[in-house]
């Protein structure tokens, strides 16, 4: 169930993001989703990739601190109100969303894919399933 | 016309000063021998009794006392008077969180305030002046010392303490303050703020400032003098010895006269402890010969300095010391607060951070800044920004309570702090002092 996100610690200074993407490029890693959170002195790059094990290994070898978090990939019908409906379901289930960002799509033009970092993955998945909203599995991300 | 608070002392002959020092040192040595077992033991270890000290010429025989001794004897081990005769403590931060606590009898406070009064009059102060004391009041000696000195001179004293710059400026303007006492960096900050408000030097009533508790350059003096339209005088002191007023600048502005009737100054080689001849550069050592409650014999200040007895144009005869030129230990003075890198290391380790850190000190807009850079570790890292920010804030709070100073904490990438092969470069001091 669900997707593994890799978070990478970056200093907030010129070149540090480039250094990280350079490592990924050299190792031919394909990023499928990406978001950046930052303060004035550091940032966290959150990425979804095709090969989690390889990515964490090459990043670690290059000196980047990183860790893995389980997040939800949600297929949202690409119509007005699509995201709002997903959030309503999560709200009704009392699941707090810590952060979210968009997937880099996409072959599937009927859906927008988004990554949700929630407090309770199981509760969120169950609530979404009940409303027929699809949660993406790790193995599926290549196809998106 | 040079003004003196105690002309008969400040302009006494060298013979007279030596006679005072001889008599007071002999008495002081006996006082500590009889009342401070810690000192007696140190003297006995060197095979000394009070009979070996017959004049100030014998001073070099006495053992040194250091900050480590103060820490070991904390809190009462060096107190030479019954506590019921003590009326005050003052304190400064020290290594590993242990503070230096100095004790005063009423007589000690009187003499300390005399020293500060001498400094104020040397800066041209009289009972006609309005003296604003913008040093911190409380455990820090700056506020209480200058406050007492200002009273002794008879100035109208404004005890604003530090901070709240808007209010400082309001009092300077509304009450026509003529003398300002604070740290040089705060004086520069007040000056810049007044300049931004559109005030020109001739619209500022101040005529003199007495600035100390941190190192400042001749360039900074010129800047402060120009923006505020004043003469800026340096003052030196240590809580261990009393506080500000151990030495002070006169109209010549070429060094600080040590109040030699209360303190004997020596310059030693910091490595060998050997006394160096006048004019040599070395570590400054003080002996307090009139303190009752907390007398220190041959206290190593760790300040690197030079002494001169060349005749001074102001008429004072007491020896002059230059501005301290550095330290013989790793202590930093940041916004007037003593900071040891080891204190910062203790806080980092207590908060689960690695001992790979770097301390960056700078001076931005005349205010010292302290940036502690620590490397992020895999154990501490999470995808949750709030969690990391919370830990960062806990560290900032921990540093504040240890140092009594606001520090910035910057998390940096692992291995980004250069590992040195020998002694780690912990401190980068970018201030141009």
- The enclosing domain of A125 has a CATH number of 3.30.2130.10
Please say whether the beta carbons of B302 and B328 come within 8 A: yes
pLDDT of residue B421: 59
- Report the number of distinct structural domains present in chain A: 2
Residue A64 sits in the same domain as residue A78 = no
- Asked if pLDDT for residue B95 goes beyond 50, the answer is no
Residue A74 shares a structural domain with residue A130:
yes
How does pLDDT run across B345-400, given as a tens digit for each residue? Answer: 888 888 888 777 899 999 888 788 999 999 888 888 999 888 899 999 999 999 99
- Both A108 and A48 in one domain: the answer is no
Range of the domain at A22: 3-69
Binding-site residues on chain B for chain A (CB distance < 8 A): 376-378, 381-385, 388-389, 410-416
- Looking at residue B406, the DSSP 8-state letter turns out to be -
Residues of chain B with C-beta less than 8 angstroms from the C-beta of A9: 376, 381, 411, 413
For helices A16-26 and A52-61, give the axis angle rounded to 10 degrees: 130
pLDDT at B414 over 70: yes
| Residue A143: inside a domain | no
* Structure tokens, B146: 């200058």
In B4-112, DSSP assigns E strands to: 86-92, 100-105
Q: Cβ neighbours of residue B427 under 8 Å, at least 6 residues apart?
A: B330, B332, B341, B358, B359, B361
- Asked whether residue A144 is assigned to any structural domain, the reply reads no
In angstroms and rounded to an integer, the radius of gyration of the C-alpha atoms of chain A is 16
A103 in a structural domain: yes
Asked whether the beta carbons of B284 and B265 are under 8 A apart, the reply is yes
Q: Does A64 lie in the same domain as A24?
A: yes
Task: Place B27 in a pLDDT band, splitting at 50, 70 and 90.
Answer: very high
Quick check: helix, strand or coil at residue B296?
coil
Query: Do A32 and A89 belong together in one domain?
Result: no
DSSP strands (E only) in A12-79: 31-38, 42-49, 66-77
Alpha-carbon gap: B413 to the closest alpha carbon of chain A (Å): 6
* CB-based contact A53:B368 (threshold 8 Å): no
Q: Tell me, yes or no, whether A26 and A75 share the same domain.
A: no
Instruction: Report phi then psi at B354, rounded to 5.
Output: -75, 165
Mean of per-residue pLDDT scores for chain B:
92
Question: A76 and A57: one domain?
Answer: no
Tell whether A60 and A107 lie within a shared domain. no
Q: Which residues of B touch A14 (CB under 8 A)?
A: none
- Which of B396, B417, B413, B381 lies closest to B348, judged by CA? B396
The set of residues, in sequence order, having a beta carbon less than 8 Å from that of B157 and lying 6+ positions away, is B131, B133, B147, B150, B151
Least confident of B107-121, B172-186, B374-388: B374-388
b (16+ CB within 10 A) / e for B34-50: ebbebbbebbeeeebeb
Backbone φ, ψ for residue B15 (5° rounding) = -60, -40
What is the spatial distance between Cα A109 and Cα B424, in angstroms, rounded to a whole number?
57
Beta bridge partner(s), residue A9: A44
ipTM for the complex? 0.84
State whether A50 and A85 are in the same domain: no
Kindly report, residue by residue over B270-288, the tens digit of the pLDDT. Answer: 999 999 999 999 999 999 9
CA distance B91 to B139: 5
| Per-residue model confidence as pLDDT tens digits over B42-64 | 999 999 999 999 999 999 999 99
The residue among A38, A69, A100 that closes a domain is A69
pLDDT per residue as tens digits for the range B190-201? 998 999 899 999
Please tell me whether residues A74 and A118 are part of one structural domain: yes
Pairing of strands B320-321, B326-327: unpaired
Q: What band does B93 get if pLDDT is binned at 50, 70 and 90?
A: low
Q: Are residues A39 and A80 in the same domain?
A: no
The C-alpha atoms of residue B409 and residue B373 are separated, in whole angstroms, by 6
- B388 contacts on A by Cβ (under 8 Å): 42, 44
Nearest to B70 by CA among B42, B49, B46, B47: B42
């Amino acid at each position: 169930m669900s997707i593994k996100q890799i978070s990478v610690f970056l200093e907030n200074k010129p070149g540090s993001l480039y250094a990280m993407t350079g490592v990924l490029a050299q190792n031919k890693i394909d990023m499928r989703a990406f978001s950046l959170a930052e303060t004035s002195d550091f940032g966290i790059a959150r990425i979804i990739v095709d090969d989690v094990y390889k990515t964490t290994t090459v990043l670690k070898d290059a000196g980047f601190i990183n860790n893995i978090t389980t997040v939800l990939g949600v297929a949202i019908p690409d119509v007005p109100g699509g995201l709002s409906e997903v959030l309503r379901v999560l709200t009704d289930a009392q699941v707090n969303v810590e952060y979210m960002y968009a997937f880099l799509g996409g072959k599937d033009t009927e859906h927008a894919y988004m990554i949700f970092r929630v407090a309770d993955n199981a509760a969120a998945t169950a609530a979404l399933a009940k409303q027929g909203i699809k949660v993406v599995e790790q193995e599926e991300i290549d196809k998106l | 016309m040079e003004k003196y608070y105690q002309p008969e002392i400040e302009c006494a002959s060298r013979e007279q000063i030596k006679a005072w020092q001889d008599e007071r040192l002999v008495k002081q040595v006996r006082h500590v021998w009889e009342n401070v077992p810690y000192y007696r033991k140190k003297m006995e270890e060197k095979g000394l009794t009070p009979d070996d000290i017959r004049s100030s010429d014998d001073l070099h025989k006495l053992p040194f006392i250091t900050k480590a001794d103060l820490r070991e004897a904390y809190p009462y081990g060096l107190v030479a008077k019954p506590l019921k005769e003590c009326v005050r403590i003052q304190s400064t931060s020290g290594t590993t969180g242990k503070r230096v606590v100095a004790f005063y009898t009423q007589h000690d406070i009187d003499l300390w305030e005399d020293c500060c009064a001498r400094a104020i009059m040397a800066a041209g102060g009289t009972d006609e002046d309005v003296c604003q004391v913008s040093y911190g009041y409380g455990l820090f000696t700056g506020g209480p010392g200058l406050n007492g000195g200002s009273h002794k001179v008879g100035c109208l004293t404004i005890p604003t303490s530090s901070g709240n710059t808007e209010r400082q400026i309001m009092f300077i303007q509304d009450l026509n303050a003529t003398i300002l006492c604070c740290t040089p960096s705060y004086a520069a900050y007040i000056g810049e703020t007044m300049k931004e408000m559109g005030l020109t030097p001739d619209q500022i009533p101040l005529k003199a400032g007495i600035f100390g508790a941190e190192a400042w350059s001749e360039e900074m003096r010129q800047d402060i003098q120009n923006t505020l339209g004043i003469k800026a005088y340096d003052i030196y002191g240590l809580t261990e010895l009393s506080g500000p007023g151990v030495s002070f600048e006169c109209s010549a502005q070429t060094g600080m006269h040590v109040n030699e009737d209360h303190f004997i100054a020596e310059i030693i080689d910091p490595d060998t402890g050997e006394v160096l001849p006048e004019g040599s550069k070395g570590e400054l050592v003080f002996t307090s010969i009139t303190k009752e409650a907390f007398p220190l014999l041959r206290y190593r200040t760790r300040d690197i300095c030079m002494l001169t007895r060349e005749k001074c144009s102001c008429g004072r005869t007491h020896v002059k010391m230059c501005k301290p030129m550095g330290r013989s230990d790793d202590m930093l003075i940041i916004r007037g607060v003593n900071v040891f890198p080891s204190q910062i290391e203790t806080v980092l380790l207590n908060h689960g951070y690695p001992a790979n850190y770097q301390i960056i000190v700078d001076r931005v807009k005349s205010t010292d800044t302290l940036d502690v850079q620590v490397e992020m570790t895999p154990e501490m890292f999470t995808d949750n920004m709030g969690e990391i920010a919370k830990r960062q804030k806990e560290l900032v709070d921990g540093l504040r309570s240890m140092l009594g100073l606001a520090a910035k904490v910057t998390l940096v990438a692992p291995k980004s702090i250069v590992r040195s092969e020998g002694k780690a470069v912990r401190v980068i001091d970018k201030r141009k002092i």
